[in-house]
């Protein structure tokens, strides 16, 4: 049976069922940015997040089916954290910044992060009033390729010759559980809307810079054909 292609925004918060009854929701999807394979589905069961192996998940148009035994055996989400969860909290949050997707308060608007000039200005202001400017992020040991799908949405997309847009979505094929496409919103520099790039075009993901670098020029990104969403 062929797999179903899920958009990230639909996959997140999708119901997880056992024997047709709702047992939880997909809270996040953890992916390997070296292979773009799905490593874990983070499933919220009651008040707890567990890591459901993709092999135990059967996708469908409206939900994810699994077994009670698989949910009972699933380890807690804290046992294999993605890069973003292993970095120390951004000191900039004390200045009113918010990380992407958190929905917290921000002077730049809901869910937004400051640009480099805005961030530098805020750091200078904090230092002038006796604050401590943010230092470089620190990471505890763990897999440097494990990424939160929820976290990377909104990351800047960098082509070989400059900024090419923002990562507005990802598509995931539940036959083999692999990211197939990066959906890039190019409206910031070219009024062409959204284009799809194969996930294989991405060769690095940078948490500190909140960016995905792709093996393409801006013009090559621009001339990619969009696909119906």
Reduced 3-state DSSP string for 129-198: CCCCCCCCCCECCCCCCEEEHHHHCCCEEEECCEEEEEEEEEEEECCCCEEEEEEEECCCCCCCCEEEEE
- Mean pLDDT of all residues in 125-132: 56
- Mean pLDDT of all residues in 15-24: 95
Higher pLDDT, 132 or 63: 63
| Predicted structure pTM score | 0.75
Q: Is the pLDDT of residue 40 over 50?
A: yes
Contact criterion met (CB below 8 Å) for 169 and 225: no
- Around Cβ 7, how many Cβ atoms within 10 Å? 15
- Mean pLDDT of all residues in 66-72: 97
Structure tokens at 159: 């082509």
Q: Give CA–CA dist 167/197, Å, rounded.
A: 10
pLDDT of residue 204: 93
pLDDT band at 95 (very low <50, low <70, confident <90, very high): very low
Q: Give CA–CA dist 14/202, Å, rounded.
A: 26
- 39: nearest Cα among 50, 47, 51, 31: 31
pLDDT of residue 51: 98
Q: What percent of the chain has pLDDT over 90?
A: 62
| Domains contained in the chain, CATH given | 5-80 (2.30.30.240), 89-128 (no CATH), 147-222 (2.30.30.240)
Instruction: Name the CA dihedral angle for 110, 111, 117, 123, rounded to a multiple of 10 degrees.
Output: 90
pLDDT of residue 130: 56
Structure tokens at 25: 């929701």
- For 170-228, write each residue's pLDDT tens digit: 999 999 999 999 999 998 888 778 999 999 999 999 998 999 999 999 999 988 865 44
């Amino acid at each position: 049976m062929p797999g179903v292609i899920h958009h990230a925004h639909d996959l997140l918060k999708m119901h997880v069922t056992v024997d047709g009854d709702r047992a939880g929701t997909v809270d996040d999807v953890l992916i390997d940015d070296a292979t773009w394979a799905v490593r874990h589905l983070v499933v919220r069961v009651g008040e707890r997040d567990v890591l459901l192996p993709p092999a135990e998940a059967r996708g469908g148009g409206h939900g994810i089916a699994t077994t009670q035994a698989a949910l009972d055996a699933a380890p807690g989400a804290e046992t294999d954290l993605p890069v973003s969860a292993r970095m120390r909290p951004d000191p900039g949050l004390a200045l009113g910044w918010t990380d992407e997707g958190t929905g917290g308060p921000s002077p730049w608007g809901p869910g937004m992060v400051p640009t480099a000039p805005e961030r530098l200005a805020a750091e200078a202001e904090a230092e002038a009033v006796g604050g401590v400017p943010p230092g470089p992020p620190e990471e505890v040991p763990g897999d440097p390729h494990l990424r939160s799908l929820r976290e990377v949405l909104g990351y800047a997309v960098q082509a070989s010759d400059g900024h090419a847009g923002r990562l507005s979505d990802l598509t995931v094929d539940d036959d083999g559980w692999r990211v197939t496409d990066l959906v890039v919103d190019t409206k910031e520099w070219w009024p062409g809307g959204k284009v799809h790039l194969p996930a294989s075009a991405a060769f690095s993901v940078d948490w500190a810079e909140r960016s995905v670098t792709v093996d393409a020029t801006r013009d090559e990104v621009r001339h990619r054909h969009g696909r119906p969403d």
